Every structure is written in C-alpha cells, then in structure tokens.
Amino acid sequence: MKGLDKVLQGVLKFRKTIRKDLVKQFEEVRDNPQPTALFFTCMDSRILPSTVTHYIDKENKLNIEDKLSQINTLQQVLNIASHEFMFDYMANNKVFIHAMWFDIYDGNMYLFSKPEQCFIKVDEKNTDQLLRYVENEMKGISNNHQHSNNCCH
C-alpha cells in the first residue's frame, strides 16, 4: 500500500505545514468572492443527489455545495473505473482508485471509507486505521466492521 500510504503521509505533512495559512487565505475570499472566471470540472447531471446524500452526510451538517462536491468525487471514481482501458489494471490489482475530498474552508482532507460509507477526515489519529481499511478492501477481505461514527460530520 505504498501509494496510498505516501498520499496519506503527504496529507499529514500538509496539515502540519501549509494548512493553517491556506485556510486563512480561503477565509479571506469565502464571504466576498470576486471571481473573474468560472471553471467547471467533471460535472455529470445523470447522478441523482437524493440517491446518495444519505451516505454523504448522515447527520445533515454539510451545506449543499459540500454534499454535491462529495457526490461528484464519488461519481468521478465511477467514471474513471468505467473506462475499458482500466479494466485489466483493476482486475489484476495494478491500479486502485480511492476517493479523496478536500474541504477548502477548514483545510482538511477526507478519504471515502466503504465500510463506513462516508468520507472520514484524515488526521494523525486514524491514518493507520484508514490504511487497514483500504488494504483489507484490496485483499477482498470482508470484515464484520461495526461503524465507528468517524464520518465527516
């Protein structure tokens, strides 16, 4: 699990070094944005938000934009996995696709956990646990996991 471990270690380094200043910058433009351009990425109108929002925000604490952003993140995982050239790579365990979501307002990174069925904040307390989830998923291990309420609410 070298690839994801490296990504998660990068998230931890980001949390210690850059996050604080970046959050300050986002706070400055949050309430009074003055964009000069609008950029759309990977939008798909075929997904019905109501079918997945109960997984995204079980306690209904996120604003609609964040819910839709997380839904879009999961939709992009499905889009990437649907390309024929990816089939052999995924079937032979050469490529693994993980959904990660960045909250620009608090500078936190979240990883989607299939066992928890929600995004979980990546921090110093849970990186090892998140790696175990992913490693077990990659091995096809179905553990009778009890939900730990680690979802991002």
What does the DSSP 8-state code read for residue 149?
A: S
Annotated binding site for Zn(2+): 42, 44
pLDDT band at 133 (very low <50, low <70, confident <90, very high): confident
On whether the CB atoms of residues 58 and 153 are closer than 8 A, the answer is yes
Cite the annotated binding site by residue number. 42, 44
Would you say residue 146 has pLDDT above 50?
Answer: no
Residue range 69-89, pLDDT digits in tens: 899 889 988 988 899 988 888
pLDDT tens per residue across span 96-132: 888 889 888 888 889 998 888 889 999 999 999 888 8
Burial of 86 (0-12, 13-18, 19+ CB in 10 A): middle
The 10s digit of each residue's pLDDT in 14-23 is 888 888 887 8
DSSP E strand boundaries for the chain:
100-103, 108-113, 118-121
